[in-house]
Chains A and B, each alone.
Chain A
């Protein structure tokens, strides 16, 4: 990643995310009242976060790759099923993945 790319991502993401927040304080509520829009909007974070779990856990560049990260994801799933708090889930996944990485 080039230096200019990282600054562009930072600047553009910050500007757009702020604009999206501010929008809610300026537009009439009726504009987003359509049930279909509300339904889709509720599903967008679920679709994106699901895809991100896969892209970060099972993909390298454009290939599906099974490696130490999957062990971390399995640990995270187990911890979430056991109702562990967020930091425990993240640290548990990291430790599991690091152990598998070092064993290889």
Chain B
């Protein structure tokens, strides 16, 4: 049952670097006026980075509970597609399946799929080691970020209010792999700003999904 050493190296290096971003989420949670406990519970229970940032970000922007939850949930729908791809590989039942579902995120799926040439066992190892590794590091670093941010005080004074949009930009950037996708991003930004004065806070974010529907309806 020895997994290739390269697979373990891939999985652990991804887990550590991605997990370290948990500091940014910990700080974002506190900047959005969630408690340290709540911020840490987000990383433990929600455990899908972009959605966590979205939930606290929409609340910080003055949005309602429904807007925050809807934005976070829509941002996580890609995880269903990841689960579809991982299910035949993991073939877990009961509690193990629950655990597999919770660690089904961008990184665990990406590392698993990157092991394709090394065989099914390497793919399965890549999935579990990356998923559990990110889970552990992400949660540890969330605690660090939350406690540090709480000690700092006024978020604006330390630039934490700019760290959140920068984090979203950092999450968006690697997805913009061609000009078609960059155009979708710019149109979504313009659309969101345009409808901002007309809608309650939080809703322009959800409404931007319309851009995805309209553009994605036809083939590119």
A9 and B61 contacting across the interface, CB-CB below 8 Å: no
Chain A contact patch, size range: 35 or more
How many Å lie between the Cα of A50 and that of B84 in the bound state?
Answer: 26
A6 contact from B38, B62, B100, Cβ within 8 A:
B38
Q: Which of A18, A47, A86, A87 has the most CB of B within 10 A?
A: A47
Contact A49 B101 (CB under 8 A): no
Size of chain B's interface in residues, with CB distance under 8 A? 106
State whether B104 touches A54 (Cβ < 8 A): no
- In the complex, A50→B209 CA distance in Å? 10
B120, CB-defined interface residue at 8 Å:
no
Say whether chain A's binding surface is mostly helix, strand, loop, or mixed. Answer: helix
- Contacts of A8-43 to chain B: CB distance below 8 A: 8-10, 12-14, 16-18, 20-25, 27, 29, 32, 35-36, 38-43
Instruction: Write the chain A residue with the least CB distance to B213.
Output: A40
Min CB–CB distance A19 → chain B (angstroms): 9
Bound-state Cα–Cα, A1 to B74, Å: 22
Q: Provide a sorted-by-A list of 11 A–B residue pairs whose CB atoms are within 8 angstroms.
A: A6-B35, A10-B41, A13-B69, A39-B216, A48-B205, A48-B208, A51-B205, A57-B165, A75-B166, A98-B159, A102-B157
Contacting pair A23 B80 (CB below 8 A): yes
Q: A41-B81, A62-B200, A85-B17 are in contact. List 16 more A-B contacts (CB 8 A).
A: A6-B34, A13-B46, A16-B76, A25-B104, A36-B216, A36-B217, A43-B216, A44-B78, A48-B74, A48-B75, A49-B172, A52-B53, A53-B168, A55-B202, A56-B60, A59-B204
